[in-house]
Structure 1
C-alpha cells in the first residue's frame, strides 16, 4: 500500500503526456489544442507556442522565481538568452 502511494506521488517526467504513457504530445497536437483554446476564448491576436512559453517565464519572474531556475526550466544554457525577461 505505501509503495503504491509513493509511486503515485513520484513526479512524472512530463506534465502532460501524449496518448502513449511517458511519451510527449506531438508538436502538431499541442498546436491544435492551442488553436482551439484561442478560438474558444475569442482571442484575435496571433498566439504561438513560443509566445506562451515566454509569457510563462515572464509570469514566473514577476512572481519572484529565481532567474537561474527559470533558465534551467526553459533549457537555456546561457543566461544571456533569458535577458529578454528582465
Structure 2
C-alpha cells in the first residue's frame, strides 16, 4: 500500500520531498525508488485503469 500510495502521489505531481516527509524516509534516495514506475506508465495509466474498472459491476442488496 505504501508503494502504491507513493507512486500515485508522485504521478499526481506531488513533490518528491513532500512524499519523503509523508513516508518518513531519512534519505531521498529511498523515496526516489518510487519514481521509476511513473516514468514507465506515461499517459497510458488513466486508460489502463478505466479499462480495468469497466469490467466491474457493483450490485447493492436491499438498497432502493
> Which one has a larger percent helix, Structure 1 or Structure 2?
2
- Give TM-score scaled by structure 1 length: 0.40
Larger RCO (CA within 8 A; separation ≥ 6) = 2
What is the number of equivalent residue pairs in this alignment?
35
Structure 1 segments of 4 or more deviating over 2 A?
A: none
Separation in structure 2 between the aligned mates of residue 81 and residue 60 of structure 1, nearest angstrom: 15
1:56 aligns with 5
CA RMSD of aligned residues (A): 0.6
Gaps of 5+ in 1: 1-51
- Give TM-score scaled by structure 2 length: 0.52
